[in-house]
Structure 1
Amino acid sequence: MLTKNLLITGVTGFVGSVLAATFLSRGISVVALSRRDPDGERTRSAVAAAAAGCDIALDGAMAGRLRTIDIGDGGLGRALEGLVIDDIDAVWHCAADMSHSGLRLTQAFEANVCETTALYRWAAAHAPRCRRFHYVSTAYTAGMQGGKTEERLHAGQRLSNAYQVTKWSAEQSLRTQLESCGLPVTLFRPSIVVGHSRTGWTRRNGFGFYMFVEAMEAVRAAGHRSFSYDLPEGVCIDLVAVDQVVGAAVDLTLSASARQDFEVFHCIGGRRMSSRAMLEAIADVLALQICFAAPQTPVDRRFARAVAANHPFALTDWDFCCAKLDAVLGRTARHPPLSPDQLQKLIRWYVNAETEMAG
């Protein structure tokens, strides 16, 4: 069956906007569920910005192929009551609460678990043509033990923040819901998503890798030129460019391969770079000196507090397997990991974007 129409959530966000722009450029229509966007202008602007940032030629595609549905500011389950969309071939659920804070666990659980479950039930019951529900999760639902990590559900592992906990819980919920609803499920798990590998474009959200960039920007803005951060040698970090993530997602959606009713895929960039090398690259762009040692000064301690949410991830070495995704996509080779030059381009774009906004 050809894929002609998709429902995508999170289209005003990072991955969702690039995904929508890419599908539109491929001639596929998109229905975007958005909050607080009654005229659809915020959604269209986000897609246009993603297309421009990623050099995606839309050529007027939005006008005829992008529909927006405003779900207001309430719960997704209530907003979907009575809604029927009879021409949706598949769903990509990209929207998420990105908070790490345990203080926001209740809100994150509502957004990432309850609303995911509600959307899945709706698609199974009220989108009669829909043949698959794709959920954008994270590779780090595997827990904090690191090491070789297979493409499967994980249980009994330590999780470190609200985002991990609620993404893990949503995966478990979808596996359970499949038994009663029957709509096939794909868990799509990127590692740490960064900007476009060629242009450097991203959205300034301070999440993941960019938390370290913003913390170093703050060090520089405070007039400091050096600081210390305690990080061991030898730990590798897995950064994957948004164009690689979206490329795999599009290929997966359009694949004619035989598929399982429940599947788990890792989408990764590879382990070429150490956490130390990543931080040294950021420091170099910002003309800072970083020493890998225990914090000694107030600025050291402020930096450590600013990146505390991601400190456990910089300390842990994962080796994410992606053989199942490779097999479905028929890949014998993947994109090489980001090079140092590409990483510096990503950092410069982010830093320059901040300078332009400040000006």
Structure 2
Amino acid sequence: MSEPRVFLTGFPGFLGSALLERLLDRGDGPVACLVQPRYYGRAEQRAAEIADDASIRLYEGDITEPDLGLGDAVDDFGSVTEVYHLAAVYDLAVEAEFAESVNVRGTEHVLDFAESCGVDRFQYVSTCYVSGRYDGVFTEQHLAEGQAFNNHYERTKFEAERLVQQRMDEGLPTTIYRPAIVVGDSETGETGKYDGPYYILRLVLAQPAACSVLTTLPGSTDCELNVVPRDFVVDAIAALSRRDDTVDEVYQLCDPAPLSVPALLDAVEAATGHRVISLPVPKSVTKRLMATLADRGWPAEPATVDYLDHPTRYACPNTRRALADTGIECPPAASYVDALVDFLREHPDVRSEAMS
């Protein structure tokens, strides 16, 4: 039986599961997947759905531990030449210490593991929102720009990417991917959790179709909400990760022509069939309103309000050049909002909390 050459964190998460399928399809198996003990049963079930052979090897562990929780088994990965690090806390309301433990120290531990294996390639999934509230156009060349951050998620992903870029500068062959806000599949609408823009969709659907009320923030007319579907993100990572010319590069996986916040609300109105009325409300009042609604069981998250007046615009010149001849491009958000809404209506019980 052949030994695993690829090591993956973030399985059985939403992106990790889809990427694992692509890696196996192109012949990169067997793949060793690090799985937290509490998700091991779910991982076994998901692995059985993906492959009926031994091409997926599951190992209990935890990136928050220095040896990834592998114990003596950490020495058994001499065959690994490539690491994909996707595991993180994807939660806008995450507490500081937990975000530090997973996103920062966890990434440092995975980097140490990769270097101990002497890997040929480290593939790291970051986020466009390392930008924080950068006021202007943020490209792949930007990182530390003196920006403020909306939350601990953004700040700790920024700190984690700084660690990755430092190791890259020191000689670890690395490719960094920065997705924007990831939503469901552009064709099927399938998603693993309802967060981010889904709070808008769910709030609209929870109200009468004749009159659904949302708040808008003063000065948000020109702000963009940059969303990307899962299939684009996975297609792009799968394509870029197999090429030698993408080593030591950063790729922002964003929509180069995103909708403004008002245009996105118009698309939501059309997709849901609801008459949506947007009321201008100060940000502080909107956050208190979201907190009150959440306490009463409504689908609301105060942390999402910060993205309705987000000052940053994202550009992806590296990504567009690298994918120019592949046929892979981000579809316009308006073209798949219907699919997201249909999936939400058909699967109302999908969780909202992050896997962490």
Under TM normalisation by the shorter chain, which class is it?
Answer: 0.7 to 0.9
Match of 1:311 in 2: 305
TM-score (norm. length: structure 1): 0.81
| 8 Å Cα contact 1:8/1:32 also seen in 2 | yes
Matches within 5 A, 1:102-251: 104-125=95-116, 127-128=117-118, 130-152=119-141, 153-178=143-168, 182-204=171-193, 206-219=194-207, 225-231=211-217, 232-251=220-239
- Assess, with a 3 A threshold, how the Cα gap between structure 1 residues 280 and 86 changes in structure 2: closer, same or farther: same
Matches within 5 A, 1:67-106: 67-71=57-61, 75=65, 77=67, 79-82=69-72, 83-84=74-75, 85-101=77-93, 104-106=95-97
Q: 1:27-74, CA deviations, whole angstroms, 9 ceiling, x for partnerless residues?
A: 221211000168x5421433566xxxxxxxx5xx45231111011697
- Assess, with a 3 A threshold, how the Cα gap between structure 1 residues 245 and 48 changes in structure 2: closer, same or farther: farther
Instruction: Show structure 1 runs of 5+ residues with no match.
Output: 50-57
Give the superposition deviation at 1:230: 1.6
1:291 aligns with 2:277: yes
Letter of the structure 2 residue corresponding to residue 344 of structure 1: D
| 8 Å Cα contact 2:59/2:70 also seen in 1 | no
Indicate the larger mover: 161-170 or 144-153.
Answer: 144-153
Q: 1:248-276, CA deviations, whole angstroms, 9 ceiling, x for partnerless residues?
A: 1111121132x45x422101123242222
Match of 2:46 in 1: 46
1:23 aligns with 2:23: yes
| 8 Å Cα contact 1:266/1:321 also seen in 2 | yes
| 8 Å Cα contact 1:241/1:269 also seen in 2 | no
Whole-Å separation in 1 of the counterparts to 2:102 and 2:350: 32
Match of 1:65 in 2: 55
Query: What SS does structure 1 have at the residue aligned with 2:347?
Result: helix
Give the superposition deviation at 1:147: 2.7
Match of 1:256 in 2: 244
| 8 Å Cα contact 2:236/2:328 also seen in 1 | no
Letter of the structure 1 residue corresponding to residue 161 of structure 2: E
Query: What SS does structure 1 have at the residue aligned with 2:37?
Result: coil
Query: What SS does structure 1 have at the residue aligned with 2:221?
Result: coil
- Assess, with a 3 A threshold, how the Cα gap between structure 1 residues 72 and 110 changes in structure 2: closer, same or farther: closer
Give the superposition deviation at 1:124: 0.4
Query: What SS does structure 2 have at the residue aligned with 1:108?
Result: helix
- Assess, with a 3 A threshold, how the Cα gap between structure 1 residues 274 and 304 changes in structure 2: closer, same or farther: farther
Q: 2:317 aligns with which of 315, 319, 323?
A: 323
Query: What SS does structure 1 have at the residue aligned with 2:189?
Result: coil
Q: 2:338 aligns with which of 341, 344, 353?
A: 344
Q: Percent identity?
A: 26
Q: 1:62-102, CA deviations, whole angstroms, 9 ceiling, x for partnerless residues?
A: 52311110116973535145403122221111111123236
| 8 Å Cα contact 1:272/1:337 also seen in 2 | no
Letter of the structure 1 residue corresponding to residue 224 of structure 2: C
Give the superposition deviation at 1:7: 1.2
Give the superposition deviation at 1:200: 1.2
Letter of the structure 2 residue corresponding to residue 24 of structure 1: L
Q: 1:125-157, CA deviations, whole angstroms, 9 ceiling, x for partnerless residues?
A: 1x23x2121211110111213432120322311
Equivalent residues, number? 333
Whole-Å separation in 2 of the counterparts to 1:81 and 1:178: 27
Give the superposition deviation at 1:303: 4.5
Q: 1:206-239, CA deviations, whole angstroms, 9 ceiling, x for partnerless residues?
A: 322223223334445xx99421412432333222
Letter of the structure 2 residue corresponding to residue 248 of structure 1: A
Match of 1:53 in 2: none
Q: CA RMSD in A?
A: 3.1
| 8 Å Cα contact 2:35/2:59 also seen in 1 | yes
